[in-house]
Structure 1
Amino acid sequence: MWFRTESGRQIKGNTITNLRKLAKPPEAIMIVLDMALILMKRRIDPIRIDYNLDEPFYVPSKTEILRLLNFSGLLSTLLTIHKIQSYHAINKEVIPIKDKVQKAENSLRKASRKLARAERELERTEIGLAKCQHDFDAAMQTKQTYQSDYDALLKRRDDANTLISGLTGEKIRWNEQNKVFEQSIEKLIGNTIIVTAFLSYCGPFNQDFRQRMINEWQKQIQQRTIPFSDNFDIIEQLNDEATIGEWNLQGLPNDDLSIQNGIIATSNYRYPLLIDPQLQGKSWIKNMERDNDILITTFNSKMFRQQLEDSISLGRPLLIEDVDEELDPILDHILEKHYVKIGLTLRVKVGDREVDVNHTFRLYITTKLANPTYSPEICARVSVIDFTVTQRGLEDQLLSLVIANERAELERERVTLARETTKNKRMLKELEENLLIKLTSIEGSVLDDPSLVEVLNANKRIATEVKEKVSIAEDTKMKISTAREEYRPVAVRGSIIYFLMSEIALVNHMYQISLQQFLGLFHDSMIKSHKIAATQKRIQNINDYLTYRTWFYTTRGLYEDDRLMFTLLMALRIDLRRGKIRYDEFEVLIKGGASLDLNTCPPKLFRWLNDSSWLNLLELSRLKEFHDVIDRLQKNERAFKDWFDKESSDFSSLPETYENLNVFHRFLFARCISPDRTISEARHYIQDSLGIKYSEIPVLSLELIWEESDCKTSLLGLLSSGADPTSNIQALAKKKNIDLFIVSMGQGQEILARRYLQQTITLGGWLLLQNAHLGLDYLEEFYETLIATDTFDPSFRVWLTTETHSEFPIQILQSSIKFTNEPPQGVRAGLKRTYGLINQDKLEYIETIYWRPLLYATSFLHSIVQERRKFGPLGWNIPYEFNQTDWEASVQYIQNHLDDMNPKLNISWKALRYMISEIQYGGRITDDRDRRLMITYAKKWFNDLLFSSDFKFYDGYSIPKVKRLDEYIDYIDKFSLIDPPQIFGLHANADITYSTNRAKSMLEKIVYIQPKEASSNISGGETRDKIVHNLANDMLIKLPKNFIQHEVREKLQNMGILNPMVIFLRQEIHRIDRIIRIVRNSLNDLQLAIDGIIILNDSLRQILDSIYDGRVPIDWTRYSWESSTLGFWFSELLDRYTQYNNWLNYGTY
């Protein structure tokens, strides 16, 4: 085996041979060979084996190595043996290890076999485990699926419970609302018809007429079996509480009419045109569109067209304010919405240009005219809306002002509460809408949308909070409302007075007043009235001050004939609201028996009663307090006749029941039975109702008016015969040391007026435009200049004088302080006015006993000659314009005469009488008899007896023996308000005619200005139109047939056609026949108009108003005769027809 090694193969055969030849081989060779034998496991000589292989390996020396090299292969053998020896040495250590390894390997193999068996077992187990794991995973997945389904079901259950819980509160309401919706769907057509008709047609009408139209539409729809809602409410149909609340905060009154107006203005397809005399609508629009950057302009603005184009193209709201009855044609295409679509852009023609239309553009138009007449073309292009403030709406507005002044914290709380309530209601509405949108937008089950529950929970939480706030707000609102209502009497009084001040403009166009002026007076009354802690007393103080302040402010701007009428109507309106008088009593007072037909009434009982008084008594008997007046009149004729014939209206001579009548019922009774006593009893009633201070108009003070004014408030004097205030204005300017520039308006004076206006605005001073009615074209420019100017000299003021003119700019009338300079009615008022113009220095001008008596006598004469004009031809044959300058000239002459008179000589009475009666006053007199009367006055009162102690003008009218001015005023105050005719030198009967005519004129004016929709039949509660319809029907039944003309000609021919009386009869028959035809046609048309078959034009409206008021329509009197009442006129028509018919047919007349 060793020889098979690399070392053994290197030993060649000859090497072995050579070694055999050696007898004693070298020691090294022997050792090598021994080692080889040992390796070969051969037997060697033990003797020779003297070395120990366990000892370190033999290492031959260099010499021995050389010897070994001589034997081929021995060295390598030696080396191999050496390696083997090394191997052996190592193996001695390795073998045990190998044994251990072998044992370990054996153990390992056994273990491996066990492991293999275990692994096989494990594999089988793992396979089983994997199967079990798979089964487990499948089971767990199934479980997880079931758990997920379970959890999902639990969540759905919870969500469902949450939804049920959250929607349970809405269930009842939604179920009810669902029923309402179902009914609404069924009634949608009818409701839509009414709503669209309302938006299209109801704008120009008041609340009463709108409701009547809606009722009529409902009736027509019902007849056609079209379903509509039973409790139809136009506001509920078109708006919601949140929006209405926002409108209220923006200044829209909270009454139904104003809310309806807001709906029409915002919901109509056509642009709105607001009839807005009180500027309520304009104020609301400005507030509503403030955040939208609204533009405000007028047709007169130089920038109007540019502003219009900018608004259309930029989508800004545009308000055109203060238009008249015509609109600028530049608006035609815009109002008619003649838009041209180019691509996605709309364009409209504005003049000669086309402008892009922004879809957010909105147009509003307003007018201050209270009763404008717009053409059908304008009405078709715009939505005309009557925004005239209602009494209830004004009450609420005034109540807020009162509370803001008296209980500011309460008003702030109310406003804050209103804002929060509106916000909360809007939030509730939005939450509900969002929830409904969410519910309706879900695809599949509502439980599949997880956000729904979140929305519902959030909504529920917020809704709960909001509802709590709303509930708290409602409770707080009730408390605030209760506290506010305590002050409502002030608002009620203010509302009554404002509407009366507005209605008085129907008597005269110049009496216009704006709501802003009234609000200024209202605020002034709260500030200046006496303050006291007791609420009720404080309210009384405000009402008293407000009533007198507004009465004084208004009456000084009224002509003298209208002042008593206004004062009486104020007392009546206040007492009507207080409940002290009833409306049926009020109607009897102002109308009497004007609507009764004498021919159909019971015959007159006594000849001393005239027909008018008899009809009045019949009407009076319908009142419960006077139900037996006719019977009492029959039983106590003597007592009633004695009272009737007396000059005074002393009720003590009447039977006991009527002796104890209250002041108003005495007034009512006297008006009916003795019309000439109406004025005197009206004064008594005014004193009883309002107070004695209302019985006499205070003396006009231009200085006081000037102090009330400001630079933008004109002072407007209304001219009348002999009442030009120019001299008074000049005197005041001189007293105040202010420059006065006077321009008498007329053709070509605008340039001068314009220059003076700019000069006084800049440098100060007063500008007086005389006869402003002659420069109406300039007044528009004048007003615009005042409005546009921001900086004035503090002393700047504008005075205007004008006659009544129907086209005088309403803007100036409503923004100016008006006054009249007419002499007041009554000697007492005239003397007070005269002595109000002088001072103590004037009384002490001359130290002589003659001066003060002469001054008083001249003043008394001045009042007499002026007051005598009220009697008409009985006073002066020709009405003369006696004025203050006549008195001033007379007084100046007396001063000069006394200055020049020799103290030792007497007064030259002849010269003095001549100067007064024929120069100063007589210079105006043209009638000889009037001149003679004036001379008689002078002879009677200007003589030596004037200074005697027993001198008197008339019983109770003498010259006071006093020296101070206040003593003269006190003496004059003791005079009676009602002057006896004898003081003027007239018979007592002269006052009957004057008083009767004045009472008739006053009551006719009161009837004329009454709101036509406010009245109803006092017995049956019928509407005004129904009453007139029935009256027209009765008149048509009684109206005779027209004459047949060919029969008339034949009968007249037989009577002698050329006979003067026959000619007269022919003419009268022709006239009466034409009148009957006119009356019949008018009444037939009126009935058709009331029934809605034809249009109620202005002529028919005037006839309707006249018949309701018991007056003869103007269209009838134009072709007939004058009469005091409609009843008398119609009776006379029948009587004339009967007379002419009898004359024609029977020859008797």
Structure 2
Amino acid sequence: MKKPHKGFRLWLTTQPTQDFPLSILQASLKVVTEPPDGIRANMQSSYSLFREDAFEQCTHPAYTSLVYGLSFFHAVVQERRKYGRIGWNVPYDFNESDLSISLSLVKMYLSKIGKGPNWLPGEAEDHAEELQATRPLPTATDIPWETLRYLIGEAMYGGRVTDDYDRRVLATYLEEYLGEFVFDNYRQFCFCKAPISYTLPADGTIAGHIEFIKNMPATNTPEVFGLHANAEISYFVDNAKSIWLGLLKINIANNSGNSNDSAVGNLKEEALVATISEILDKMPERGLYFSPGTEALTPTQVVLAQLRERQDPCEKPHKRVKITGFILSGNVDTQELDRLNLLTDTMTQSLHDLSRALRGDIGMSGDLDELALSLQAGFLPKQWRMLAPPSLKPLGSWLSHLMRRIDQYTVWIEQGTLSCYWLGGLHTPDSLLTALIQVTSRKKMVALDKLVLFTEVTDKTAAAQIESTLEHGAYIEGMFIEGARWDSTVGRLAPQTPRKLFEEMPLVKVMPVEAHHLNVRSLLRTPVYATQGRRNAMGEGWVFDAWLPYSEHPSFWILSGTALVLQTSD
């Protein structure tokens, strides 16, 4: 377009993304819209879209209260996003169209109830007043609550939700907000009682609702959303970390831009060399199980050699060894060691290459440049992260975590089995759980699809307290609970300790049982995630489900975001 019309304007809308062309942004006038902050602002935004006669479109006496209730629900599910993973595993873009279609659905059902089962179109409209006079007034008991909750939770809002546990949270809110109890004359309904009571407005007009919303608090505490007060601490900590990481990346970019040959030019090479030397000193030489004077063996060769040593020499070579803890996990530790040695070999080689580059023996490549910057900034280098299990830890904590993993693998090989497994130290923890099911299936002669995992929290806090291994299953250590705590005195879930975001769990028994024998009454299905990042939009991060006893109503723990994680981000 050589000569565009002087009144021509091109409007582009986009979600926040790193891929948007920078040249277009620089040449454009930018307008940013952000969702309202707080329940009051959210509800004011929703009510601003209602027409003045919105409440007159349905004559059912419960309609105005349901409009307010759904608007409150809409505000809550949006505000829950700001608390990160403890709010929603996957952030969802709920918008006004979800609320609008839900209100239309409610109006349709309530209008149908108001007209009664004998309503007919056409001529029957002429006798509407006569029919209405002889018909009892509609009440809250006439409303199909279960149908409304299902359609709103599974289709309207639930259509955006991809995570099963997020869908459970959504359904729990609807169970708490939509029901006959909303109109109980003997007990006033409250969306939340502490620290401020959120109730329904007494004035049923739209003007009364707007005035009622104006008097609501401008800010909200996590308790309004069913979360513990600790969730606000997590929110501020995550924001502070985000700002700090942003500043750190800007500083790295500036250093990179000011260097002559590479980004390492302006970094303190002495500190970098010391860091490289410190990490190399911790790395196993030529493989994890190399012995001086002998050729290094691969992890597979080590496992097979130890397996042959444990076999009875009188047994036929093809005869299967009796199933023990070692055989149970033989394939598991072989795969784990292969992955670990690939990681440590890559780390060792890349650090040696970086040392040579710093001495000027070889040129500085892009990968080595990224490695140097990551080591200097305390980030986990990209080429290491690609070979390591998921982790949100900074470099220092990650290295300590790696050393502990190596220690567990070493004991595993030396002893052939473990009395207690540190699940967070495995590359693929679900492979061990699958092995448990497979072994139990063979020993009990039960089909694999008939077995499920069941958990039992013990009173033991260390592996040294275990007197004997389990015949079916294994002890697991090193799991952390978020959104709740474990009360060892009563053996059930309890509310979090103030200012304590995570607490380590006692040892947990994980046992395969037949599904028809599983009794989960008064037990909460609790997700176990690999990291504090929980589960992403692709479904990655979930490991298995644990069953934990509770005393409060299950909605308390569901809305609190109760979950177990195998490793924290610290």
So what's the TM-score if we normalise by structure 2? 0.49
The structure with the greater share of residues assigned to helix is: 1
So what's the TM-score if we normalise by structure 1? 0.27
The structure with the greater share of residues assigned to strand is: 2
Q: Which has the larger radius of gyration?
A: 1
